[in-house]
Amino acid sequence: MIVKEFLNKAVSRRGFLGSAGAGAAGLAAAGLGFQQADAAPLEPPANWDYEADVVVIGYGGAGTCAAIEAAEAGASVLAIEKTTTAGGNTSHSGGIVYLGGGTPLQKMHGFDDTPENMYNYLVAQMGPTADKNRIQIYSEQSVGHYDWLTQRGVVFGQKFWEGKVVQPPSEEGGLSFSGNEANSPYSEIAIPMPRGHMPAGAGAQVYAPLKATADKLPIQTIYNTQGERLVVDKSGAVVGIQVRSGIPDPGVPNATPVALSGEIFVKANKGVILTTGGFQFNPEMLAQYAPWYLSAFPLGGPSQVDDGSGIKMGQSVGAALYDLSFASPWKFVYAPGEMCKCILVDQVGARFVGESRYGQDVGDLIIRRNGGVAWQIFDTPTYEAAKAAGGFFSEPVGTADTVEELAASINVDPAILANTVSFYNEQAKQGKDPLFLKHEEFLTPLETGPFLAFDFGVSTGIAFITLGGLRCTENAEVINSFGEIIPGLYSAGKTAPGINPEYYVSGSAVGDGTFWGRAAGRAAAAAASR
C-alpha cells in the first residue's frame, strides 16, 4: 500500500494542513459547507429528496464494488461521495491487492498456494480479534475475487519480485511477498506464498477499471456531499440517510446534479452501505481512541476522507465495534533488502524487533513501545553494501570508530548498545537470531568501524491508517452489541474491517474493501424493500 512517493505526499499534505490552520485548507473545507456530523439518528422526514434501493456512502474501492454488485443484481443505486472524485484510498494506494489460494498469477510462477494455506497464515497473522469465519471465506473465495477483478479489467503485472520489496515498482506492478509470510514463525505455520497482486500504475489502475465498469451501469452518483445522520424507523431499521451537499453542481462527469444544498434526505428502500474509510484524518477521534498515532502521518486518498463519519454513524445506531485503538503504522526497513542488515535499537540501545519484519510491526513498536524513538545502526561494510544496492540514506546522526562512542551521539546507554551489538554478532556468525528471528539472509555481523547511526524514529516519518471499525456478518450486515443485525445497514472497507481489524499486511485493505464491498452490494440488493 505504500510507495515512497505516496508517503512523501502524505508528509507534505500533513505539513500543509498543519501549518494552514484556519487558512487555505480550513477555508476550502468551510467553503464546501461541510461540518462534522454531530448528532444521533433521525426519524424519517415528511418528504424525501432522493430515493434508491441501495444508497452507498463513500465512493472509493469498497463503495464502487458495492454499487456494481447491487446494480448488477437489479437494484437502483445512488452513490454519494464527499469529495469531487471517485476512488478514495483505493485509487491513491500502492495498488497491491492481497489475493491467494492459487491465483493464476501465483500458479504462473510455480506457487502452489491453497485456500487452507492462506487461511493458516492469515489466522496466525491477523491477531485473535479477527473473525476466523470471515478469514476463511476470504481465503476460499480469493481466486474468485481475482477472477472478478480481472474480468472487469484489472490487469495485474506479470512479473514476480523475489525477496524483500516494500512493493513492486509502480510502472510494472506484479507479484510479491507483501506481508510476513517468509518470516519466522509464520514460515513454519504456513508455506510462504507471495500474495501481493499489483497492476502497473498502482492503485489508480485497480480503481480505473472498476469505475469504468460502474459507469456503464445505472448508478446515480452525487459528489461533494457528506453523509451526516442515519434515518431510522420505529422498528430500529435504517431506512435512509441525511446528507449535506456543499456545491449544487460540482461538474463531475456523469454525476447526478444536486439541486439542493444543505440538508438532503435520501431514502434507501433496501439498505444504506457505509464505505467512508477509517478515521485517520479525524484528529478528535484519534485523540479519543488511538492517541498513540497522533505523532504519525495519516495516509489516505483525497484529504478530508477517512473522517470517521461512517464509523460514528454506525455507532449512533448501536453497532458493535472492533477496537478503535488498532492502526497500521508503517515503517519499512527494507527497500532494498540489504537495508535489513542494519540493526534497529530503541531509546536505551536495545534491539526490539526482527529488522526483516513487516513495516507495521516495526512502526507500531517504535510508536507504542519506544515512545517514538528508534535508531538504525550499520557498520561500514553493511552501510556500503546497502548504499550500493540503492538504499536511501539521510545524513547519519552519529559516526564513530567504536559502538560505545556511537552511543553518545544517539543518547543511548553505551553498555547496552555494546552488549546488543556483540550478542547480535555472536549469533549472526552462527546464522541465527534467537532473540527476534530476523531472516537469516540479513544476518551479517557488524564488526568493522566506523559505525553509523541513523534516526529511524517517528519524526522521520511513519504513515498510518486506522484499522478498527464496525462489526459485520459475513454478508457485510452491520451487527449490534448483541450480535443482531441492524436492519438496513451494511458496511465495508476500513469502516468495517473484514479480515484486518487488528493487523494489516500490504494489499489487505484494497483486497478486503473490494471483497466485502461486493458482499455488501449483493446483500443489500437481495434485501426486501421497506
- Answer yes or no whether residue 323 interacts with a second copy by CB under 8 A: yes
Q: Please check whether residue 519 is in contact with residue 476, taking contact to mean a CB–CB distance below 8 angstroms.
A: yes
- Which 119-148 positions form the footprint of a second copy (CB under 8 A)? 128-129
Site track 341-360 with a second copy (rule: CB under 8 A), x = hit: -------x-x----------
- 107 vs 132, which CB is nearer to a second copy? 132
Chosen residue from 37, 97, 126, 210 binding a second copy by CB under 8 A: 37
Question: Starting from the edge strand earliest in sequence, which strands make up the sheet with 97-98, in order?
Answer: 97-98, 196-198, 174-176, 160-161
- Answer yes or no whether residue 321 interacts with a second copy by CB under 8 A: yes
Q: Please check whether residue 89 is in contact with residue 300, taking contact to mean a CB–CB distance below 8 angstroms.
A: yes
Between the CA of residue 280 and those of 17, 98, 299, 303, 460, what are the distances in Å?
Answer: 14, 22, 7, 10, 19
In angstroms, what is the minimal distance from the CB of 237 to a second copy?
11
| CA–CA separation, 19 and 494 (whole Å) | 28
| CA–CA separation, 500 and 265 (whole Å) | 33
Region from 13-21, 49-57, 143-151, 414-422 binding a second copy, contact rule CB under 8 A: 414-422
- Answer yes or no whether residue 320 interacts with a second copy by CB under 8 A: yes
Chosen residue from 73, 191, 416, 526 binding a second copy by CB under 8 A: 416
- Answer yes or no whether residue 236 interacts with a second copy by CB under 8 A: yes
C-alpha cell at 48: 424525501
Q: Please check whether residue 333 is in contact with residue 361, taking contact to mean a CB–CB distance below 8 angstroms.
A: no
- 326 vs 515, which CB is nearer to a second copy? 326
In angstroms, what is the minimal distance from the CB of 327 to a second copy?
12
Chosen residue from 48, 148, 160, 292 binding a second copy by CB under 8 A: 292
Indicate the pairing of strand 463-466 with strand 174-176: unpaired
- 22 vs 39, which CB is nearer to a second copy? 39
- Answer yes or no whether residue 312 interacts with a second copy by CB under 8 A: yes
Q: Which amino acid is at 418?
A: A
Region from 50-58, 205-213, 283-291, 372-380 binding a second copy, contact rule CB under 8 A: 283-291
C-alpha cell at 497: 474491517
Region from 55-63, 66-74, 316-324, 445-453 binding a second copy, contact rule CB under 8 A: 316-324
Q: Which amino acid is at 146?
A: Y
Selection from 342, 367, 4, 328 nearest residue 165 by Cα = 4
In angstroms, what is the minimal distance from the CB of 137 to a second copy?
18
| CA–CA separation, 29 and 355 (whole Å) | 41
In angstroms, what is the minimal distance from the CB of 418 to a second copy?
10
Q: Please check whether residue 346 is in contact with residue 374, taking contact to mean a CB–CB distance below 8 angstroms.
A: yes
Chosen residue from 5, 43, 116, 249 binding a second copy by CB under 8 A: 43
Selection from 124, 59, 509, 520 nearest residue 280 by Cα = 509
In angstroms, what is the minimal distance from the CB of 33 to a second copy?
19
- Answer yes or no whether residue 408 interacts with a second copy by CB under 8 A: no
- Answer yes or no whether residue 153 interacts with a second copy by CB under 8 A: no
In angstroms, what is the minimal distance from the CB of 483 to a second copy?
8
Site track 433-472 with a second copy (rule: CB under 8 A), x = hit: -xx-----------------------------------x-
Q: Is the peptide bond before 192 cis (omega within 30 degrees of 0)?
A: no
- Answer yes or no whether residue 375 interacts with a second copy by CB under 8 A: no
| CA–CA separation, 83 and 76 (whole Å) | 22
Selection from 39, 230, 195, 191 nearest residue 512 by Cα = 195
Residue holding cell 461541510? 34
Interface residues toward a second copy, by CB under 8 A? 37-41, 43, 128-129, 234, 236, 288-289, 291-292, 311-312, 315-318, 320-321, 323-325, 348, 350, 413, 415-416, 419, 423, 426-427, 434-435, 471, 480-484
